[in-house]
Amino acid sequence: MPEKARELLNDQSNGLPVWIRAPKNGVEFYCGFSRAKLYEGAGKGHFRSVSIREPGQVKGTRLFHLQSILDFIEKCEQGAVTGGTTN
């Protein structure tokens, strides 16, 4: 794993990590999203993600911003409560 990715994963806010990785299987511990749902949500711009890779590398490490995911979930909850859509 690139050093920058390791630094970002160790950063914490209020006891929660700032950045998370997609689970290899199952769901992510803090948000409950599967790997596919994390990539889909980031691709649609629902929450933040970043790919960390060294120059010249083909593969990298994709990290997802946990607070932006939690904000998205809250937005979906508010839409459900008010009867609106959030897509």
Query: Locate tokens 């050093």: which residue?
Result: 3
Burial class (CB in 10 A: 0-12, 13-18, 19+), 19: buried
State the pLDDT at residue 86.
56
Nearest Cα to 71, choosing from 46, 45, 36?
46
State the pLDDT at residue 7.
78
Q: What type of residue is 83?
A: G
Give tens-digit pLDDT for 16-73: 899 999 999 999 999 999 999 999 999 999 999 999 999 999 999 999 999 999 999 9
Higher-pLDDT residue of 35, 11 = 35
> Residue 8 corresponds to which tokens in the numbers above?
């970002």
